[in-house]
Structure 1
Amino acid sequence: MSGATTHHGKPDHSKPGHGGDEDVWTTGGTLFAGVLMLVNGLLGAFAGIAGIAKDDVYTRIGDYVYKFSLTAWGWIHLVLGIVIVVVGWGILKGASWAKATGVALAALGIVAQFLWLPYTPVWAFISIAIGVFVIWALCTDRPDSAGP
């Protein structure tokens, strides 16, 4: 057994950087953020395809200041969804570029979902909450607490 141990032979997790509770939360949060980015990106891409196909899935609720055509929104969500999937995969693989890119894309996704509110209000709020969690998880992860 390597590393510090207690007198009972169990690993000592009381020191920072040695697998304490905070490390478990930040590492687990980063892993979960990567998975959420994959799922959110895929669902965004599907939403984009539905918008491009001019399906009658989406109907605008009320009048809204930020207006784009449904086809334009479809392309925005398709491209953004694909890029978010790629970055989510990079986070899961531990790529050094993926964390900062993930924070930027999550912020961009939050803005896009805010502008998309008239079409899918419930899902937009859920996606905004997912984006906030992703930003928190990626910003609180420390480089030395990354997986094995």
Structure 2
Amino acid sequence: MSEGPQGSAHHAYAHHAAPGESRGRGGWATGGVMFAGVLMMVEGVLGMLQGIAGIAEDDVYGRVGQYVFAFDVSAWGWIHLVLGLLVAVIGAGILSGAEWAKAIGVALAALAVIANFIWLPYQPVWAIVSIAVAVFVIWALCTEDTGPVAPGKR
């Protein structure tokens, strides 16, 4: 630590952005993280509803042909219910600014991509949309840069 010009402690890499200077990647990454949090909450709630429908009625989802990854619809209901609950909670954590929620959000979004790929024969269009949303969430959470910027770098 070194003493700054006004006598206060100042970290060697601390850099305060001047007006018009950006500390991180800018609006796309920051706005993307907020949008990712909202998408996770919405996707989580929809996943919970999808899970409840699968648990309540075994024949609510039809299967498109034969598929290697065949599970009972009730089992899929429980998978979607639990995963949806976790995704919604982590989405709320991301919106509240919790740093731990971002790493868990990436892991859950990756898990959602896998689960929706296996879910393809039951709801192909919705599974593809959910995969696209999860890929965007992973991108948004991985590209945000909020760390300090070394002096002289933008």
TM-score, reference length from structure 2:
0.81
How well do the aligned residues superpose, as a CA RMSD in angstroms?
A: 1.7
The 1-side partners of 2:147 and 2:36 are apart by 18
Contact 2:110 2:138 in 1 (8 A): yes
Counting aligned pairs with the same residue, the percent is 62
Instruction: Write the letter of the residue equivalent to 2:20.
Output: D
Q: Paired residue for 2:47?
A: 44
| Counterpart among 104, 107, 111 of residue 110 in structure 2 | 107
CA deviations on 1:92-148 (whole Å, 9 max, x unpaired) are: 000121000000000000000000001100000000000000000000011249xxx
CA deviations on 1:5-35 (whole Å, 9 max, x unpaired) are: xxxxxx423xx40x7xx31111000000000
Q: Paired residue for 2:131?
A: 128
Equivalence map 1:89-104=2 (5 Å): 89-104=92-107
Q: Paired residue for 1:7?
A: none
* Partner SS state of residue 60, structure 1: coil
* Partner SS state of residue 123, structure 1: helix
Looking at both structures, which has the greater relative contact order when contacts are Cα pairs under 8 Å and sequence separation is at least 6?
A: 2
Runs of 5+ unmatched residues, structure 2: 1-16, 149-154
Runs of 4 or more, structure 1, over 3 Å off, are: none
Q: Paired residue for 1:82?
A: 85
| Counterpart among 1, 9, 12 of residue 20 in structure 2 | 12
Instruction: Write the letter of the residue equivalent to 1:119.
Output: Y
More helix by share: 1
Runs of 5+ unmatched residues, structure 1: 5-10
CA deviations on 1:15-70 (whole Å, 9 max, x unpaired) are: x40x7xx3111100000000000000110000000000015431111110001100
Contact 2:37 2:95 in 1 (8 A): yes
Which region of structure 1 is more displaced relative to structure 2, 55-64 or 96-105?
55-64
Aligned residues: 133
